[in-house]
Amino acid sequence: MRNKLENAYAKALSGTFKVVNPIKKSVINTNCEVHIFIQANALNILKDCGYRDQYNLFNEFIPQINKGLIWADQDFKSYHHFYNPVVKRGKFGYEENAMTVAKSYYNRALKFFATKNYERSMFYFGAACHIIQDLTIPQHAKGKLLDNHRQFEMYVKSNYRIQKRFVSHDLPIMLNSID
């Protein structure tokens, strides 16, 4: 539960995001190339490990999944991509965090899948995957944005294509929920 200071901070920060966002969009292109690489690698792992039906389903909707991957980082949504599992919180000022956002996107994906709206389902599946991928970055899991976060992400961007060790061929870890 947030206190008065957190509420005031969240309101001020949200207002700032609204003012700054159009400027940010004109200067920074968020293409999420590393997320798309991770997703493509995950798809190949499914195929290589014999999960043909799952591979075929996700492969059919790669454009929608990738749109969700990219959308999840637009318009300062990334502020909610942090979650410290020890204190069960994200960034200061907001109740939303990577766990609540990932669950929301995943539940939307399931809802749209159940109604056979597969394109919309895969869009939200991609958005949920983006959040889960972000949580593999130590700063996202600690909730510390300014703890060499940018340097770490720039290192990955500069090296993910040339470092073969970044490509996994291991069996996937299968979970039944985001929790």
Instruction: List, for the chain, all residue ranges whose pLDDT scores fall below the cut of 50.
Output: none
What local confidence, expressed as pLDDT, does residue 42 receive?
92
Give which of 87, 72, 75 is closest to 133, Cα–Cα: 72
Angle at 162 between CA 166 and CA 164, to 5 degrees: 40
Give which of 75, 59, 66, 64 is closest to 37, Cα–Cα: 66
What local confidence, expressed as pLDDT, does residue 103 receive?
96
What local confidence, expressed as pLDDT, does residue 149 receive?
66
Q: Which residues does 147 contact at the CB level (< 8 Å), separation at least 6?
A: 138, 139
Residue 84, beta-bridge partner list: 89
What local confidence, expressed as pLDDT, does residue 1 receive?
56
Q: How many CB atoms lie within 10 A of CB 179?
A: 7
Q: Which residues does 47 contact at the CB level (< 8 Å), separation at least 6?
A: 55, 59
What local confidence, expressed as pLDDT, does residue 2 receive?
67
CA distance 143 to 20: 22
**Helix ranges (DSSP H) in 28-148:** 33-48, 52-60, 62-71, 98-114, 118-134, 138-142
Residue 177's SS3 state is: coil
What local confidence, expressed as pLDDT, does residue 136 receive?
83
Assess contact for 108 and 90: CB atoms under 8 A: no
Q: Could you tell me which CATH number the domain at 30-160 has?
A: 1.10.575.10
What local confidence, expressed as pLDDT, does residue 148 receive?
67
Q: pTM for this structure?
A: 0.82
Q: What is the pLDDT of residues 93-124, one digit of tens each?
A: 777 888 899 999 999 999 999 999 999 999 99
Which residue reads 């318009």 in tokens? 75
Assess contact for 130 and 31: CB atoms under 8 A: no
Residue 84's SS3 state is: strand
What local confidence, expressed as pLDDT, does residue 82 receive?
77
Assess contact for 80 and 97: CB atoms under 8 A: yes
What local confidence, expressed as pLDDT, does residue 83 receive?
82
